[in-house]
Chain A
């Protein structure tokens, strides 16, 4: 499954970068994530509750942040195993400054699904992924606006 999208934020690349690298913020704004804990440097364990059509359950996944180039790009490596199937994904996240106060975030990657996840509802999963990424971006925007508010 191909994952791709872009979103434009009214914030600098550095501001976005610091939010994305902050574990508490991430846990708060990532849809479905109920817990995020740090396992080591740039390694996290995430517990997520997901319900998509016939597929629902609690997932435990490992996240690895790789090839960090602050504040330009990093690769998020996701590995999740559960009874209803496994996900392995590599997603490259890039921040392109548009102006001082505007940054475009783009992500592009591939998720390999196996088991029940692969054979049931994969057609609707990319739609679900789109919805989730929109929710994420909205939450991130709110976070950025919130911190801008406290700063200003």
Chain B
């Protein structure tokens, strides 16, 4: 019963999910609850001349309409950002206010102008339709690079040229230019890593509940990050004391990053509830989700990689314009800088790297972390450069990678690898994953088939992507030095009940990841008890002491490690109690299979006995506190660095330009694996999203800042029949610095897959002399390229 780790244990949470018994924010109904509808700007940039709420307020069932003026008059602050990045000259980045409702100007299509509170959702919506807002439409700019050009409309008057920050990392530009000037060959790519919309299956929702009798507030919200939301909302926005506020993130239907952030609607519902002395619920419809959930990516990049005669990389130079949207979301400044620039070493021994990033405001919804967050952008850039360079230098793309890989190191006997861009990799064996992936695809054989197919006029292509990511976010001291306004440790509390059953409280949050299963496997294994005896509790600031939430593939590496720290304390204290009961010395005991045994004897005492004794301490070690309950904070020593090799095989239809993904091979090294089924599931989902970006997805704003594909009729998501049956394998290089040896698997699929698919399509199109096309590679785009 004790070997749970490494087993494909079925997910315990799925019983409620697949029987429709999950409890999501919108399922919660409180007595006397009112409903909110938010009136949003149809324009991307407009002056608000007037807001007339009289007709709406006269409607039967309407309780109140608040506008931006009411918010401004109440003296509360706007939504803060959690990360500070400065200009190169040391000046602080521009951080314009982001009010809960705007009073003067709307700065993106969907900016919140007023909120209607009514007895039902339907009445609120109908009344919202008759709130008369007079706008003066102003010119808008949606494209990051255009926004920096002279004369571009300004998003914020105090951010000239729409610049939020400019930033650089790596070796000095002069050194990189010097290295590049000596290069035998330079490959240059200019491209857009297009904006994508996260599309969690559950739209965002929030309920504010103020209880006047005890002056307490409860926020129910669709959050990946309830404690941080509480901290930001209380301390930065509303100025209400944190101990008076409970934040609950119950079952959450996916986030992919978009639910990390503290959104204006959360603070707004608390504010409205406090004013009206009633609970108030807001739930986004799908259209609102498209329009107001923070989007991902949106980089305009020029990247150059220099090689010597033998194909060794000698330098990398990158310039990126990152679209941040109209306001700064929680992690927005961090994503294109510290989560992107720091990954540009990739798996390669590149000796000189310089990355320069300009963060730009535009009249679009906020851009922030989306599955992978910065690392997919870095990987796309590197992996597209390598395949393009191989084509240009007439070298094999796989061999070019193997030639430039960092040699294997385990981080124990061999030290970690110090990159040119601040990070030190923990452990890696990059040759291993690529060689395995090539073996799985049958590389040599494929090239022969491709040759034969070309003669028959068929366009087959193969694309590689070898990635690394920085996960397990992160050591607090490091992120603090890099501008984070919060620590990034995790909290794990293990409460052994008198009967030996175990309640575990984690600051990580599950919104699809399966923590209730994986974490229980770890706890049951360590304590030698059945998994049924373990309950994982998360997502409620009232029961969980503190937490930093789930993102950056951090839950198991950081949250799991915090739990392990508490388990160690439980076992250590348990040994004292067991020694007393067995009348033996603590040093003579060993703990295994859920019992303490006197070494070399059959004298033992079980975990349940020890637990009961801890709570009924009649016969108990002198001086030892009763109880068996420990809480730990775990602050990791480093990021973790999962890596892998992905290979895509595609066939392009010559007549229609449609790309068929024939095979997808992914060999990932995410360190130790607790539940292989859950890891496979994470990889599958990640691959689908990464492939989605390569072939289908992309948020489109027109020149007026209008989102023109904000519905499922217009925005293409990958579907099951677009995807082949994935061929997965794993290599295990344990993380040397956390007790579980795990690295994280949540984002790997998304990070690796996008460039593999695009590289494969470019390989297929190479007979046409096509080297680079912008994503998504729609049939139209591919067809036009072939026919021009």
Q: Is B a genuine binding partner of A? A: yes
Q: Chain A: residues with CB nearer than 8 A to chain B?
A: 53-54, 83, 85-86, 112-116, 118-124
Measured CA separation A120–B708 after assembly (Å): 7
Nearest CB of A to B341, in Å: 33
Output the residue of B42, B43, B129, B706 with the most chain A CB within 10 A. Answer: B42
Q: Which 3 A-B pairs have the closest CB atoms?
A: A119-B710, A115-B42, A118-B706
Measured CA separation A118–B706 after assembly (Å): 6
Name the residue of chain B whose CB is nearest to the CB of A113: B706
User: Given the interface contacts A83-B129, A85-B42, A86-B42, does A118 sit within 8 Å of B708 by beta carbon?
Assistant: yes
Residue B287 CB within 8 A of the other chain: yes
Contact of A120 among B42, B44, B287 (CB under 8 A): B287
Please tell me if the beta carbons of B702 and A119 are within 8 angstroms of each other in the complex: no
Nearest CB of A to B696, in Å: 14
Residue B707 CB within 8 A of the other chain: yes
Residue B290 CB within 8 A of the other chain: yes
Contact of A112 among B287, B291, B704 (CB under 8 A): B704
CB-CB < 8 A to A83: which residues of B? 129
Please tell me if the beta carbons of A121 and B704 are within 8 angstroms of each other in the complex: no
Measured CA separation A39–B713 after assembly (Å): 38
Q: Is the interface of B mostly helix, strand, loop or mixed?
A: loop
How many A-B contacts are there with CB distance less than 8 Å?
55
CB-CB < 8 A to A113: which residues of B? 706, 708
CB-CB < 8 A to B706: which residues of A? 112-115, 118-119
CB-CB < 8 A to A86: which residues of B? 42
CB-CB < 8 A to B520: which residues of A? none
Please tell me if the beta carbons of B714 and A118 are within 8 angstroms of each other in the complex: no
Please tell me if the beta carbons of A121 and B42 are within 8 angstroms of each other in the complex: no
Residue B709 CB within 8 A of the other chain: yes
| Complex A-B: 12 CB contacts under 8 Å | A83-B129, A112-B706, A113-B708, A114-B706, A115-B109, A115-B706, A118-B42, A118-B707, A119-B714, A120-B713, A122-B709, A123-B713
Q: Chain B: residues with CB nearer than 8 A to chain A?
A: 42-44, 109, 129, 287, 290-291, 702, 704, 706-711, 713-714
Measured CA separation A64–B44 after assembly (Å): 25
Measured CA separation A124–B129 after assembly (Å): 25
Please tell me if the beta carbons of A54 and B702 are within 8 angstroms of each other in the complex: no
Contact of A54 among B290, B708, B713 (CB under 8 A): B713
Please tell me if the beta carbons of B42 and A53 are within 8 angstroms of each other in the complex: no
Name the residue of chain B whose CB is nearest to the CB of A115: B42
CB-CB < 8 A to B287: which residues of A? 116, 119-120
Measured CA separation A115–B128 after assembly (Å): 14
User: Given the interface contacts A83-B129, A85-B42, does A118 sit within 8 Å of B702 by beta carbon?
Assistant: yes
Output the residue of A112, A115, A118, A119 with the most chain B CB within 10 A. Answer: A119
Please tell me if the beta carbons of B708 and A119 are within 8 angstroms of each other in the complex: yes
Measured CA separation A123–B778 after assembly (Å): 15
Name the residue of chain A whose CB is nearest to the CB of B109: A114
Please tell me if the beta carbons of A121 and B702 are within 8 angstroms of each other in the complex: no
Please tell me if the beta carbons of A123 and B714 are within 8 angstroms of each other in the complex: yes
Known: A114-B706, A119-B710. 8 other contacts (CB 8 A): A54-B711, A86-B42, A112-B704, A118-B109, A118-B710, A119-B711, A121-B714, A123-B713
Nearest CB of B to A55, in Å: 10
Nearest CB of A to B699, in Å: 10
Contact of B707 among A112, A119, A124 (CB under 8 A): A119
CB-CB < 8 A to B44: which residues of A? 114
Name the residue of chain A whose CB is nearest to the CB of B290: A119
CB-CB < 8 A to A120: which residues of B? 287, 710-711, 713-714
CB-CB < 8 A to B704: which residues of A? 112, 114
Please tell me if the beta carbons of A114 and B708 are within 8 angstroms of each other in the complex: no
Nearest CB of B to A129, in Å: 15
Please tell me if the beta carbons of B42 and A114 are within 8 angstroms of each other in the complex: yes
Please tell me if the beta carbons of A121 and B129 are within 8 angstroms of each other in the complex: no
Nearest CB of A to B672, in Å: 45
Measured CA separation A112–B714 after assembly (Å): 17
CB-CB < 8 A to B109: which residues of A? 114-115, 118-119
Name the residue of chain A whose CB is nearest to the CB of B129: A83
Name the residue of chain B whose CB is nearest to the CB of A119: B710
Name the residue of chain B whose CB is nearest to the CB of A86: B42
Measured CA separation A114–B287 after assembly (Å): 14
Measured CA separation A73–B379 after assembly (Å): 55
CB-CB < 8 A to A119: which residues of B? 109, 287, 290-291, 706-711, 714
Measured CA separation A106–B592 after assembly (Å): 86
User: Given the interface contacts A112-B704, A113-B706, A115-B109, does A121 sit within 8 Å of B713 by beta carbon?
Assistant: yes
Name the residue of chain A whose CB is nearest to the CB of B715: A119
Measured CA separation A113–B44 after assembly (Å): 11
Name the residue of chain A whose CB is nearest to the CB of B126: A83
Name the residue of chain A whose CB is nearest to the CB of B699: A119
CB-CB < 8 A to B129: which residues of A? 83
Contact of A124 among B291, B702, B713 (CB under 8 A): B713
Name the residue of chain A whose CB is nearest to the CB of B291: A119
CB-CB < 8 A to B714: which residues of A? 119-123
Nearest CB of B to A119, in Å: 3
User: Given the interface contacts A54-B713, A115-B109, A116-B287, does A122 sit within 8 Å of B43 by beta carbon?
Assistant: no
Name the residue of chain A whose CB is nearest to the CB of B710: A119
